[in-house]
Amino acid sequence: MEVTVFWLLAVLAVVGGVMVFRFDSMARATFSLLASLLCVGGLVVLLGLDYLGIVIVLMMTIEMAIMAVFMVMYMMNPAGLMPMTMMHNKKGAAVVCGLVFVLLAAGILLAPWPARRGKAPADPTMELGMSLMGPQMLTMMTLGMALFATIVATVVLATRRGRYDRLGDDLRARRPEDPVRGGVGR
Amino acid sequence: MTLELLLLVAAALFCVGLFGALTQQSIVMLMMGLELMLGGVILGAAAAWHYIAPAAADGQVLIVVAVTAMALEMAIGFAVVTALFRSREVDMTDMAAELKE
């Protein structure tokens, strides 16, 4: 049973990944990527990491929903009503990717992998939490800072008005010129 | 189901994503390639944790890092596309070449 599920998820993950770049419709491409990443989440669950697998499934579902909105916003042919291609250097890229796969496969098949050491804890999620709050605290703090920096950076990049728009060319305006009043004391 | 098989699937996902990242002209499609590559990394890390060192949590931590990288890449990528589109009405990598100057 486990083997059947593995093969099903593995084949679907790779085929879904390939179809992302073959569909003309942006919505189909997005849902194909979603299917591929859901299969990755399923494989992670199959390996005994239930919590991380479910996190991947939930995160990817939301992420791809947002991706679909952006695809419709920016792509010139979101419905895929006419054939189109948006690729460059297809042959060169195929050669590079083929070579990378051959190298990776050779490494995977020829490397003397170490034998399994220890056995999985009864609750891997607890183990992960203890690790992130203990020996891997620096990793957790770095991720936290990266997430915070991303929030600030995305707001700065996505906003239409910069500080020069608000406070004038020399930034000396006493009151910022905002379209809507708000904030502390304004 | 063996370690080698899972790593081969992960490598296939990584290479399909790499193909997309190298060939796609649209920045949004390029980001989809990067997502697939990170999906391959996640699967590889999970397989390594399960088959090599399940007692240590390091493989799980690597998955957390990769999942976070996926979220950050999407957020920053969409913000960059929005800023680029707003200033130049461009969402293609070729037309954004002057960014390097």
Q: For residues A108 and B29, what is the distance between their CA atoms, to the nearest angstrom? A: 29
Closest Cα in chain B, distance from residue A13 (Å): 8
CB B31 within 8 A of CB A33: no
Q: Of the candidates A6, A36, A150, which has its C-beta nearest B39's C-beta? A: A36
Amino acid occupying residue A97: C
Which H helix or E strand runs over B35?
Answer: helix B27-51
Mean pLDDT for B81-86 is: 85
Q: Does A126 touch chain B (CB under 8 A)?
A: no
Q: For residues A56 and A45, what is the distance between their CA atoms, to the nearest angstrom? A: 10
Q: How large is the ipTM?
A: 0.89
Q: For residues B21 and A92, what is the distance between their CA atoms, to the nearest angstrom? A: 12
CB A11 within 8 A of CB B25: no
Phi, psi angle pair for B59, to nearest 5°:
-60, -40
User: Token digits for A143?
Assistant: 């991720």
- For position A46, what pLDDT does the model report? 93
CB contacts under 8 A, A 96-115 vs B, are 96-98, 100-101, 104-105, 108-109, 113-114
- Confidence band (pLDDT; 50, 70, 90) for B83? confident
Query: Which among A135, A86, A151, A161 has a CA at the least distance from the CA of B57?
Result: A135
What residue has token string 């399909």?
Answer: B16
* Span B29-82, pLDDT tens digits: 888 999 999 999 999 999 999 999 888 888 899 999 999 999 999 999 888 888
Tens-digit pLDDT string for chain A (186 aa): 888 999 999 999 999 999 988 887 788 888 999 999 999 999 999 998 999 999 999 999 998 888 888 877 777 666 666 666 677 788 888 999 999 999 999 999 999 999 888 888 888 999 999 999 999 999 999 999 999 999 999 988 888 888 888 888 888 888 888 877 776 656
Query: Distance from CA of residue A138 to its chain's centroid?
Result: 22
CB contacts under 8 A, B 42-81 vs A, are 42-43, 46-47, 49-58, 60-61, 63-65, 67-68, 70-72, 74-76, 78-81
Each as own residue / partner, the long-range contacts of residues A24-28 (CB below 8 Å, 24 or more positions apart, any chain) are A24/A77, A24/A80, A24/A82, A24/A83, A24/A84, A25/A78, A25/A79, A25/A80, A26/A68, A26/A71, A26/A72, A26/A75, A26/A77, A26/A78, A26/A79, A26/A80, A27/A68, A27/A71, A27/A72, A27/A78, A27/A79, A27/A80, A28/A80
